[in-house]
Chain A
Amino acid sequence: MATSLNPQATADIVARANALFEDLSFGTARAWKEAVPGRKVVGYMPIYVPRELIHAADMLPLGIVGGGDQLEVIHGDAYYQSYICRIPRSTIELGVSGRLDFVDGMLFPSICDVIRNLSGMWKLMFPKVYSRYFDVPQNYRDDIGGNFYINELAELRHDLGELRGKPITDDELRSSIAVYNDNRRLIRELYALRAERPWQAPAAEVYLMVRAGLLLPVEEHSALLRHYLAAARAEERPMRDNCRVVLTGMFCEQPPLNLIKSLELSGCYVVDDDLLLVTRWLTGDVEIEGDPLRNLSSAFLHHSESTAAKYEPNQKEKGQHLVRAVKRTAAEGVIFAAPSFCDPALLERPMLQHVLKEAGIPYIAFKYAENSGQMQPIREQAGTFADSIKLWSAA
């Protein structure tokens, strides 16, 4: 699917992505569905679902990552105690307020107890919508965790086939894997560009580009990424005297866009992050030839991102992904930013900090909520961190 954007105009491309981001009624997805009778939309929450299966059923995978800082939560708070994170309550708000009334299915991936329980709530609150808790293995042997995962994939494939009214064929799946391989390559390219020249691809822009991938058909998103990459490379932008940081802990509830902007304004170029991991969860191409479910499983088991929701069987490997990210991107420090009450991120944090300490990598930590409004403390903390890194580097 082609876009009508001028590939040279970075601002236009970013404006398009920003409009998608700000549209809490999911107008583009609604329009996609209405354009052809019988089309269906399947929503999914962080951190990972095999979107290839949804795509292969001719459906639109729609990323639901909460309501952000522009959604007024009226009903959602009545479903959650004050000590539970923000994303489930704003997701409930999206559902109860009718903003998701065009969504035919919802997938709740295995990430934490809150999202897990939300899967059951959805079944009760929206009984006419297909909803499924999508489990993933914590055992990474092909003949153990792999077989379990293939079963899970097969069940999902069957259900989506039922929802469409026609089973998903292997060839349909292979073709979807190819389309997503292309998209993942472009995302990797985008991250590589930012790591190399972060002033050319500011973190907030990169975020908007990636976030658009949760809302658009994948083919359209890939075209958008190509345009942005070309535009960002072509446009000369001034380089600031910022330090380079890796941002971690934001894999589920999203920070306000202003928070990402504030980090760069306070002197930190974000050169890697774990935002919206679904778009680059699989770290390489998925094999196309052969059994597609086995290929998806193999990619999940052996070539996927490390994050708090996954068990790390090897103690020596614990946290090394972060050290490698720092080295790969020539980062000078790490910022731990976790949503308040996020069990996986906050339980993981001390272990990762120990690893960084041992590797001599400086870090800071703070918490946020998707609707955090006050950026000044974060700006001050990040600014001080950037200054201290510059001082250490000079010494």
Chain B
Amino acid sequence: MTTVKVATPKAAARAPAKEVIKDASMLKQKEMMAAHYDRLTSAPETGAKVAATFVPGNLNELVMCFDLLNNLPEVNAIQNGLRRVSGSYVLEAEKIGHSEDVCTYVKSDIGMMAKGNIAPNGKKFPNPDVLLLSYTGCFTFMKWFELLREQYKCETIMLHTPYMGDGKITKGMIDYMVKQLREEVIPTLERVSGVKFDIDRLRENLKRSSKAEDDLVRVLQSAKAKPSPIDAYFGGIYYIGPIFGAFRGTQDAIDYYRFLREEVEDRLAKGQGPVTPDGDMGKEKYRLVVEGPPNYTSFRQFWKMFYDEGAVVVASSYTKVGGVYDFGFRHDPSKPLETLAEYCLGVYTNRSLPMRIDMLVNYINEYEADGLLINSIKSCNSFSAGQLLMMREVEKRTGKPAAFVESDLVDPRYFSAANIKNRLESYFQMIDQKRSGANAAA
């Protein structure tokens, strides 16, 4: 497998040109995403219909049964964050009356609409034909689509996922969701698309999902090795892109995850660490578990603070936000509607706080991590509320140090590089002290 140097247009405009090193799988994914955005923006010409929907609770296998294209506002907000245009969109949304206190994904999306709804390929996004409100683990999604419905005035379908407050999925929860799918979601999608539902088609899509999920899990679990061949947070964000987005259930996803797995296994066999934007990472000094989403407006700068210090993330909760697969769940074609319900119920932020803590403790132990780092996101209560208790609990149960930094998803005003760097440096020193203390005791 190869890594490729890519001169970014922005970097090229400034001197000297800075080359970004990318895995071959990253380039493959970039092509997939570009093709997807082209399919979306050419929908008015091709006549394709569009369903806007969310990442956690994403029913892509079902959406594809109706020949609908899947447009994900969160992914668009992330793209706008990475391209550093989200800040102006957030400001635009605040200018038209949205509070400074609320989710910046929402404001980035609303601001983008207000400024012409331009996709990353420079063309206009089509208006959705349907808003599929299949959300899980976050109340904001519900308000987000009510806000979009007000603008687009299109059909909106609600699929309500109950919360796993008691840490279990009950028959009542599954029955509720399956009935919603059978009697409300599917008939409305049939009406909007003009395509009759075929459960065998859904089964085929689910079968493909399961294959890709197997490979994703093998990639994520490769981080148990020392050194880890992947970064399961910053790199992990690339790895989850296709399966959390518009590709789960497609042959493209199967091909991508097989390719990715082979790439990672190759690095594993050679004893190599992760590929960073500056090339192969140096010696692995710290192994971390990270809780919380990343900051996207300074994504590369944030990542650099880790790999410059030899810190690699071996497991993260964010890479489970669109589905938790590493504890055994796979989409099951033998029970197509039930499996969609189970998938929605099981995503990370739909799990109770004690379940989330158990997962993090498990990661620290299984991946032999040095500790937990929490990146607390200002505008994401679903993740952030309770994180300080999570930190204490994980420290108590593992004996490993934890640290806390704060930033935001796509609002550049809340990324303080100096502050985060200081805290990270102190944290790495703390790990060193803990180690030397342990060595002295031994």
Chain A contacts to B: CB under 8 angstroms: 78-81, 83-84, 88, 108, 110-114, 116-121, 123-125, 132-133, 135, 137-139, 141, 143-145, 147-148, 151-152, 155, 308-309, 311-313, 315, 318, 338, 340-344, 346-351, 353-354, 367
Whether the Cβ atoms of B146 and A349 lie closer than 8 Å is no
Shortest Cβ gap from A352 to chain B (Å) = 11
In this complex, the member of B173, B176, B378 whose beta carbon has the largest number of chain A beta carbons within 10 angstroms is B176
Closest B residue to A312 by CB, please name it: B146
| Chain A residues closer than 8 Å to B138, beta-carbon distance | 113
Expressed in whole angstroms, the Cα–Cα distance for A152 and B382 within the complex equals 22
Whether the Cβ atoms of B386 and A121 lie closer than 8 Å is yes
Whether the Cβ atoms of A139 and B158 lie closer than 8 Å is yes
Whether the Cβ atoms of B354 and A81 lie closer than 8 Å is no
Known: A113-B140, A113-B382, A124-B389. A143 touches B149 (CB 8 A): no
The contact of B179 among A121, A144, A343, by CB within 8 Å, is: A144
The contact of B180 among A108, A139, A315, by CB within 8 Å, is: A139
Shortest Cβ gap from A327 to chain B (Å) = 22
Interface residues as binary, B165-194 with A (CB distance below 8 Å gives 1, 0 otherwise): 110001011011001100110000000000
Within 8 A of A (CB), among B136-175: 138-140, 142-144, 146-147, 149-150, 153, 156, 158, 160, 162-163, 165-166, 170, 172-173, 175
Whether the Cβ atoms of B175 and A147 lie closer than 8 Å is yes
Closest A residue to B178 by CB, please name it: A144
Shortest Cβ gap from A157 to chain B (Å) = 14
Whether the Cβ atoms of A132 and B165 lie closer than 8 Å is yes
Whether the Cβ atoms of A343 and B184 lie closer than 8 Å is no
Whether the Cβ atoms of A144 and B163 lie closer than 8 Å is no
Shortest Cβ gap from B73 to chain A (Å) = 14
The contact of B147 among A79, A133, A343, A351, by CB within 8 Å, is: A351
Shortest Cβ gap from B325 to chain A (Å) = 22
Shortest Cβ gap from A319 to chain B (Å) = 10
Tell me if B45 counts as interface (CB < 8 A to partner A).
no
What are 9 contact pairs spanning A and B, CB under 8 A?
Answer: A81-B384, A81-B406, A113-B382, A116-B163, A138-B160, A343-B140, A346-B102, A347-B102, A347-B106
Tell me if B88 counts as interface (CB < 8 A to partner A).
no
Shortest Cβ gap from B229 to chain A (Å) = 34
| Chain A residues closer than 8 Å to B147, beta-carbon distance | 347, 350-351
Interface residues as binary, B398-433 with A (CB distance below 8 Å gives 1, 0 otherwise): 000000001000000000000000000000000000
The contact of B176 among A148, A318, A342, by CB within 8 Å, is: A148
Whether the Cβ atoms of B146 and A110 lie closer than 8 Å is no
Taking A116-B163, A155-B172, A347-B144 as known contacts, 18 extra A-B pairs with beta carbons closer than 8 A to each other, sorted by chain A number, are A81-B388, A84-B381, A113-B385, A119-B352, A121-B386, A123-B352, A124-B393, A133-B165, A137-B176, A141-B184, A144-B183, A145-B160, A147-B179, A148-B173, A151-B176, A311-B160, A343-B103, A344-B139
Within 8 A of A (CB), among B192-249: none
| Chain B residues closer than 8 Å to A111, beta-carbon distance | 139
Shortest Cβ gap from B163 to chain A (Å) = 6
Shortest Cβ gap from A348 to chain B (Å) = 6
The contact of A81 among B106, B143, B376, by CB within 8 Å, is: B376
| Chain A residues closer than 8 Å to B106, beta-carbon distance | 347
Interface size class, chain B = 35 or more
| Chain B residues closer than 8 Å to A121, beta-carbon distance | 353, 386, 389
The contact of B160 among A112, A137, A147, by CB within 8 Å, is: A137
| Chain B residues closer than 8 Å to A119, beta-carbon distance | 165, 352-353
In this complex, the member of B144, B160, B175, B357 whose beta carbon has the largest number of chain A beta carbons within 10 angstroms is B160
Closest A residue to B154 by CB, please name it: A315
| Chain B residues closer than 8 Å to A81, beta-carbon distance | 376, 378, 384, 387-388, 406
Whether the Cβ atoms of B97 and A110 lie closer than 8 Å is no
Closest B residue to A154 by CB, please name it: B172
Whether the Cβ atoms of A315 and B165 lie closer than 8 Å is no
Closest B residue to A338 by CB, please name it: B99
Whether the Cβ atoms of A350 and B388 lie closer than 8 Å is no
Closest B residue to A309 by CB, please name it: B139
The contact of A120 among B153, B156, B353, by CB within 8 Å, is: B353
Closest A residue to B155 by CB, please name it: A315
| Chain A residues closer than 8 Å to B170, beta-carbon distance | 151
Interface residues as binary, B357-389 with A (CB distance below 8 Å gives 1, 0 otherwise): 100000000000000000010110110111111
Whether the Cβ atoms of A113 and B150 lie closer than 8 Å is no
Closest A residue to B144 by CB, please name it: A347
Whether the Cβ atoms of A144 and B165 lie closer than 8 Å is no
Whether the Cβ atoms of B97 and A350 lie closer than 8 Å is yes
| Chain A residues closer than 8 Å to B352, beta-carbon distance | 119-120, 123, 133
| Chain B residues closer than 8 Å to A144, beta-carbon distance | 176, 179-180, 183-184
Whether the Cβ atoms of B386 and A117 lie closer than 8 Å is yes
Shortest Cβ gap from A393 to chain B (Å) = 25
| Chain B residues closer than 8 Å to A139, beta-carbon distance | 158, 160, 176, 180, 184
Known: A120-B386, A123-B354. A344 touches B143 (CB 8 A): yes
Whether the Cβ atoms of B180 and A133 lie closer than 8 Å is no
Expressed in whole angstroms, the Cα–Cα distance for A313 and B138 within the complex equals 18
| Chain A residues closer than 8 Å to B156, beta-carbon distance | 313, 315
In this complex, the member of B99, B353, B385 whose beta carbon has the largest number of chain A beta carbons within 10 angstroms is B385
| Chain B residues closer than 8 Å to A120, beta-carbon distance | 165, 352-356, 386
Expressed in whole angstroms, the Cα–Cα distance for A350 and B114 within the complex equals 14
Whether the Cβ atoms of B146 and A318 lie closer than 8 Å is yes
Closest B residue to A84 by CB, please name it: B385
Whether the Cβ atoms of B353 and A143 lie closer than 8 Å is no
| Chain B residues closer than 8 Å to A311, beta-carbon distance | 133, 142, 146, 158, 160
Tell me if B98 counts as interface (CB < 8 A to partner A).
yes
Within 8 A of A (CB), among B284-313: none
Shortest Cβ gap from A45 to chain B (Å) = 13
In this complex, the member of A117, A125, A349, A354 whose beta carbon has the largest number of chain B beta carbons within 10 angstroms is A117
Expressed in whole angstroms, the Cα–Cα distance for A140 and B180 within the complex equals 11
| Chain B residues closer than 8 Å to A344, beta-carbon distance | 139, 143
In this complex, the member of B144, B180, B376 whose beta carbon has the largest number of chain A beta carbons within 10 angstroms is B180
Whether the Cβ atoms of A318 and B150 lie closer than 8 Å is yes
Expressed in whole angstroms, the Cα–Cα distance for A139 and B376 within the complex equals 32
Shortest Cβ gap from A220 to chain B (Å) = 32
| Chain A residues closer than 8 Å to B101, beta-carbon distance | 83, 340-343, 346, 367
Expressed in whole angstroms, the Cα–Cα distance for A118 and B97 within the complex equals 29
Whether the Cβ atoms of A350 and B385 lie closer than 8 Å is no
Whether the Cβ atoms of B99 and A83 lie closer than 8 Å is no
The contact of A148 among B98, B133, B172, by CB within 8 Å, is: B172
Closest A residue to B157 by CB, please name it: A313
The contact of B142 among A80, A138, A341, by CB within 8 Å, is: A138
In this complex, the member of B103, B149, B386 whose beta carbon has the largest number of chain A beta carbons within 10 angstroms is B386
Expressed in whole angstroms, the Cα–Cα distance for A154 and B8 within the complex equals 59
| Chain A residues closer than 8 Å to B175, beta-carbon distance | 147-148
Whether the Cβ atoms of B354 and A348 lie closer than 8 Å is no
Expressed in whole angstroms, the Cα–Cα distance for A118 and B57 within the complex equals 22
Shortest Cβ gap from A154 to chain B (Å) = 9
| Chain A residues closer than 8 Å to B142, beta-carbon distance | 138, 311
In this complex, the member of B106, B162, B381 whose beta carbon has the largest number of chain A beta carbons within 10 angstroms is B381
| Chain A residues closer than 8 Å to B353, beta-carbon distance | 117, 119-121, 123-124
Known: A113-B140, A143-B179, A315-B156. A343 touches B165 (CB 8 A): no
In this complex, the member of A88, A123, A138 whose beta carbon has the largest number of chain B beta carbons within 10 angstroms is A138
Whether the Cβ atoms of B381 and A113 lie closer than 8 Å is yes
Nearest 6 A/B pairs, CB to CB: A120-B353, A133-B165, A347-B143, A151-B172, A148-B176, A138-B160
